[in-house]
Amino acid sequence: MTGTIYDDTPCELGEGLLWHPEREELFWFDILGRRLHRKGQHWQFDDYVSAAGWVDADTLLMASGTALWRFDIGTGARTHLVDVEADDPATRSNDGRADPWGGYWIGTMGIEADPQKGAIYRYYRGALEKVVPGVTITNAICFSPDRRFAYHTDTPSQQIMRQPLNPDTGWPDGDAVVHVDLTDTTHKADGAVVDAAGNLWTAQWGSFRVASYDTSGAFREAIEFPAEQTSCPAFGGPDLSTLFCTSARTGLSQGQLDMHPLSGCTFVATTRSKGQREHRVIL
């Protein structure tokens, strides 16, 4: 199965896809372009922006390079919520997702992908707490539909980890274990999402695809896209069976861009699976 183009706006580093379930509308980011996009519109910022969760029909929680913000979709105004490594100009936010308890997990990384410079934090009831330290490129933050697990990866490790969670609070409970091991392949996990059946779908940077793995971590299927650097998937559409995927142009040579001119665009594919409704962030 091969995806087709959804939006031909080229992103240097497309990321942070979010299907807003109340608006039935797709949002995504160009981290290096410092923009938030939706079909036919974008918002430009002075700092990096990378990921979001939905608060209500008119409001997003948005991650920037130094903070989490309340973002008004109608006016474009931002209200500061909490700093995230604001004292370190060498880091920025990257991947993030709301959890089933109304919290928000946000990953950071070095702007130059410095080894183990980043971390994963959870923002919950007004407080920010570090949950995974020492990460190089934070990605694949997503949650199982039974509320038992969080997933995340350090992309260079080529391993997606499964973190047990306390079912009452959503905080980590026990040690993380390897869920998907790609170390014997050329694939590198980037953003990820879990469908309603518990299967994990991960964009694989450098592999032109989003791949799906079952609840045991075994490979199920892959959907190909006409861009080498696929970066973040999301389920959306009226019945949540449509898979969207961002991509990136950054780091590609002119020859690679000539060969794959849709690099950086956002894509869409119909699947036989159904996604989870994105969890609401409770502020």
How much of the chain, in percent, has pLDDT values that exceed 90? 99
Res. 95: pLDDT tops 90: yes
What's the whole-number average pLDDT of the chain? Answer: 98
Residue 260 confidence (pLDDT):
97
Residue 238 confidence (pLDDT):
94
pLDDT tens profile 10-29: 999 999 999 999 999 999 99
- The amino acid at residue 58 is D
- Cα torsion angle, 123, 154, 171, 21, sign: positive
Q: What does each C-alpha distance from 256 to 14, 32, 33, 250 come to in angstroms?
A: 17, 19, 20, 11
Residue 2 confidence (pLDDT):
87
State mean pLDDT over 174-201. Answer: 98
pLDDT tens profile 212-242: 999 999 999 999 999 999 999 999 999 999 9
Question: What are the structure tokens assigned to 279, written together?
Answer: 């969890």
Res. 119: pLDDT tops 80: yes
Res. 197: pLDDT tops 90: yes
Burial 198-210 (b: 16+ CB within 10 A, else e): ebbbbbbbebbbb
Judged by phi (left if over 0) then psi (alpha if -120 to 50, else beta), residue 254 lies in: alpha
* Whether residue 190 lies in the annotated active site: yes
State mean pLDDT over 251-279. Answer: 97
Q: Please give the model's pTM, rounded to 2 decimal places.
A: 0.97
Domain ranges of the chain: 4-270
Architecture of domain 4-270: 6 Propeller (2.120)
50, 96 Cβ separation under 8 angstroms: yes
Residue 109 confidence (pLDDT):
98
DSSP sequence for 144-192 = -TTSSEEEEEEGGG-EEEEEEB-TTT--B-S--EEEEE-TTSS-EEEEE
State mean pLDDT over 100-127. Answer: 98
**Tokens 């990921």 belong to which residue?**
51
Q: Active site residue: 146, 190, 195, 214, which one?
A: 190
CA nearest 277: which of 62, 23, 30? Answer: 23
